[in-house]
Homo-oligomer: A and B are copies of this chain.
Amino acid sequence: MTDPRNNALKFAHDNRPRFLDELKELVAIPSISADSAYRPDIQRASEWLAAKLKALGFENVKTLDTGGHPMVYADLMKAGPKAPTMLVYGHYDVQPADPMELWETKPFEAVKKGDYLVGRGTSDMKGQVIASLAAVESALKAGDVSVNIKWMIEGEEEIGSGSMEDFIKANAKLFACDFAVNPDAGMLAPDQPTLTYGLRGLAYFEIHLTGPNKDLHSGYFGGTVRNPGNELARLISGMHDKKNRVTLPGFYDSVRKLDAEERGEFERIPHTSDADYAKAAGVTGLWGEEGFTAFERATSRPTLEVNGILCGYTGEGPKTVLPAKAMAKISCRLVADQSPKQVEQQMVAYVKEHCHPAVKWEVKMISDGEPVISGRDSREMLAMAKAFDTVWGKKTIFRREGGTISAVAYIQNVLGAECVNTGFGLPDDLIHSPNEHLHIPTWEKGVDALIHFIYNLGEA
């Protein structure tokens, strides 16, 4: 009798063109969660996944009503009650595609260009969902596996997984598991297997200022009333001090310090020098909090960044208006042990203290996620590291990551299960930007690694 592991790997290799076609199909559904105009596509994407899971033989397949966008659930509990249960997390929603004019191909028609597949969601994270499905399908085709499998694929990750916390609290029994796998965390480089043990949190704000009760003529009123555009600029400017530290009151109080050992390990991570960051961003010099490397600032220190500003007249030509309103989208990345709720209070306190008394203000937190740090020596983490070592022939690096995956915090805090944070996206995949793409050879190795992981679990 042949080794099921090898059969599974052979099946995966034979079916690579089909897996890529399935990814193209899923990319073609513009499931943008931030814009309510795309609600029907959100629905279609969830139904596409449910149909796929049914076809693979999963049971209890459902698109669950979370109150927000639907969550896809399915399970296969054939390994029995004594075997561990693994929850595979994913999200089928994507970021908006704008600015559209900077795309070289159509964002929702995935196109193969050499080693890359280009399109919105190819890397973040429809490609990762398809890789997980491909690995599970390959293992199931090779015979029974020794782990029970549940799926939890949400549609709100790109807008902060707003419905998830309450929803998994209310359905904790359905999602009960021994550990989870989250393939949304990415790799450092195509030749560097990577596992992620820390993720940053998020507190995303809209700040709305209102000055005069209508747009005014800057000739009649210029110099007499506080311009909300100027005031917004002053407020934002004051959110950093001269050392580029965030000035929200108490912002750093609960930040867990990086210890010397951790910083030493970071130094061994390739492709993360300050020069690498400058090159990837296309800038001549960097900026940031004094006393930390770019990698530390991007993964293990909290930040505050403008995501958008809109005020007054922004069309063609000059309009001499003194605007009534100004709006900024500003978000903080958080690290353990900060919490979005605390940072919201700090932002409100800052604006309350500093805003001009004749300017009305409103601070709304429109998205949030808790920061996460996981252990590096669990059975499943070691099984994944071994799978990576096998496929890449190279020692896996453990790192922290700068992005936010709220779901990981909920899985950890609500379900009491730790996440193995993996995935096959690369730093230059242009996720959230025009011309997002997926490196196909890395993605195909990823499918192999996930197959090894499933069998390694059984051997542990």
User: Which residue, A34, A215, A358, A432, has most C-beta atoms of chain B within 10 A?
Assistant: A432
Checking B202, B287, B313, B316 against A36 with a beta-carbon cut-off of 8 angstroms, the contacting residue is B316
The answer to whether A314 and B318 touch across the interface, beta carbons within 8 angstroms, is: no
Q: Is A81 an interface residue (CB 8 A)?
A: no
The answer to whether A222 and B303 touch across the interface, beta carbons within 8 angstroms, is: yes
Q: Is A362 an interface residue (CB 8 A)?
A: no
What residues of B have a CB within 8 angstroms of the CB of A289 in the complex? 223
- Chain B residue nearest to A37 (CB atoms) is B316
- Chain B residue nearest to A96 (CB atoms) is B319
**Segment 310-331 of A: residues with Cβ below 8 Å from B:** 310-323, 326-329, 331
CA distance A329 to B321 in the complex (A): 10
Known contacts A218-B333, A224-B277, A358-B284: A309-B309 contact under CB 8 Å: yes
Q: Is A230 an interface residue (CB 8 A)?
A: yes
**What string of 1s and 0s marks CB contacts (under 8 Å) between A211-232 and chain B?**
1111111111111111101101
The answer to whether A307 and B315 touch across the interface, beta carbons within 8 angstroms, is: no
CA distance A402 to B219 in the complex (A): 5
The answer to whether A313 and B308 touch across the interface, beta carbons within 8 angstroms, is: yes
Q: Is A306 an interface residue (CB 8 A)?
A: yes
The answer to whether A282 and B213 touch across the interface, beta carbons within 8 angstroms, is: yes
**What string of 1s and 0s marks CB contacts (under 8 Å) between A137-178 and chain B?**
000000000000000000000111000000000000000000
Cβ distance A5 to chain B, nearest Cβ, rounded Å = 34
Please list 9 pairs of residues, one from A and one from B, whose beta carbons are closer than 8 Å in the complex, sorted by A's number: A98-B313, A219-B403, A219-B404, A223-B301, A226-B286, A227-B287, A227-B305, A229-B308, A317-B366
